[in-house]
Amino acid sequence: MSQYVETKKKKDFLTIGELSTEEINELLSEAVHLKKEQKQGNAKPYLKGKVLGMIFEKSSTRTRVAFEVGMLQLGGEALFLSSKDIQLGRGETIHDTAKVLSRYVDALMIRTFAHETVEEFAKYATVPIINGLTDLHHPTQVIADLLTIYEYKGKLSGLKVCYIGDGNNNMCHSLLEGAMKVGIHISVSSPKGYEPNQAIVEQVKQEAQAKGLQVEFGHDPEDMIKDADVVITDVWTSMGQEEETQKRLQAFSAYQVNESLCKLAKEDYLFLHCLPAHRGEEVTAEIIDGPHSAVFDEAENRLHAHKAILKKLLEK
């Protein structure tokens, strides 16, 4: 059962794969609506009196600011909870923390390492749980990405997205799931040993076959990027992998998104990156700061995507 669908208990937002196409489209429509209201100065306090607790085990810029500002713009409040400052960091169980915080706040957003952590919070909390990022999934970012692609391309279904870089990455996993939900063809190019999670790959392949979508995996980025409408990459070394930096720089050296590679994409391709970016590593400055890049519109859309998620989960 989709964890987005309301049950007698609550709703959660843990992965893109647990949402239906209809639910994703509803979130995108809501994000468009909320963005228009905000731009026109007509923001409404839909969540007046609501409080979002935000637990961070990983550092953050966009996730924290977008959720905090989003709650304020919706008329509610947000509470930052560092795992170092709450008892969770001193050995209190997730079971106890989830049950206690459920008595104080109306929802919890968690940005952490192990995906099992947010699943355990969802199991024991009596308020909605939002996955702000885990090592396995990054669903809130992908809602923002889909919103950005729609704004630039005017559609989602039938487009081709190419992801280049670390395939065993939360962005890649959530992009794969999101593409299948909205009818996007997707290709992934990554070095050997850095392919996407096999369970997610098998699930996505089954969904692609059922829907007549193309999903390709390959080690040659030139093959994968051909005729792409959207090109996406991410850092080569994610949080928690710092000790592997030099090894990864060597492994990914042929996977840089640059002008030469992007000439194989469609002439009007769109470039996205969830940020932070390392210019000169996974992408050149000419691409990320060039005319095809929409990374700052994408970053802004985190705000509107988060607001849509919050409103859907918390509004009566």
Active site positions, annotated: 111, 138, 141, 234, 274, 302
Please check if 248 is assigned to a binding site: no
Please check if 63 is assigned to a binding site: yes
- Which H helix or E strand runs over 304? helix 295-314
Please check if 140 is assigned to a binding site: yes
Name which of 1, 297, 274 is nearest 140 in CA terms: 274
**Amino acid sitting at position 209:** Q
Coil, strand or helix at 206: helix
Sequence-distant (≥ 6) Cβ neighbours of residue 157 within 8 angstroms = 182, 183, 184
Please check if 262 is assigned to a binding site: no
Please check if 95 is assigned to a binding site: no
Please check if 169 is assigned to a binding site: no
Please check if 173 is assigned to a binding site: no
Is residue 27 within 8 Å of residue 305, measured between CB atoms? yes
Please check if 111 is assigned to a binding site: yes
Please check if 234 is assigned to a binding site: yes
Largest CA distance in the chain: 55
Please check if 258 is assigned to a binding site: no
Please check if 87 is assigned to a binding site: yes
Please check if 141 is assigned to a binding site: yes
Query: Rounded distance, CA 79 to CA 204, Å?
Result: 36
Beta bridge partners of 179: none
Coil, strand or helix at 90: helix
Please check if 180 is assigned to a binding site: no
Q: How large is the angle between the packed helices 170-182 and 198-211, nearest 10 degrees? A: 10
Is residue 110 within 8 Å of residue 117, measured between CB atoms? yes
Task: Give the helix ranges, DSSP H, for 128-283.
Answer: 139-153, 170-182, 198-211, 221-225, 245-251, 259-262
Please check if 170 is assigned to a binding site: yes
Compute CA 226 distance to the chain's CA centroid, rounded to the nearest angstrom.
24
Which residues carry a binding-site annotation for carbamoyl phosphate?
Answer: 60-63, 87, 111, 138-141, 274-275, 302
Which residues carry a binding-site annotation?
Answer: 60-63, 87, 111, 138-141, 170, 234, 238-239, 274-275, 302
Which residues carry a binding-site annotation for L-ornithine?
Answer: 170, 234, 238-239
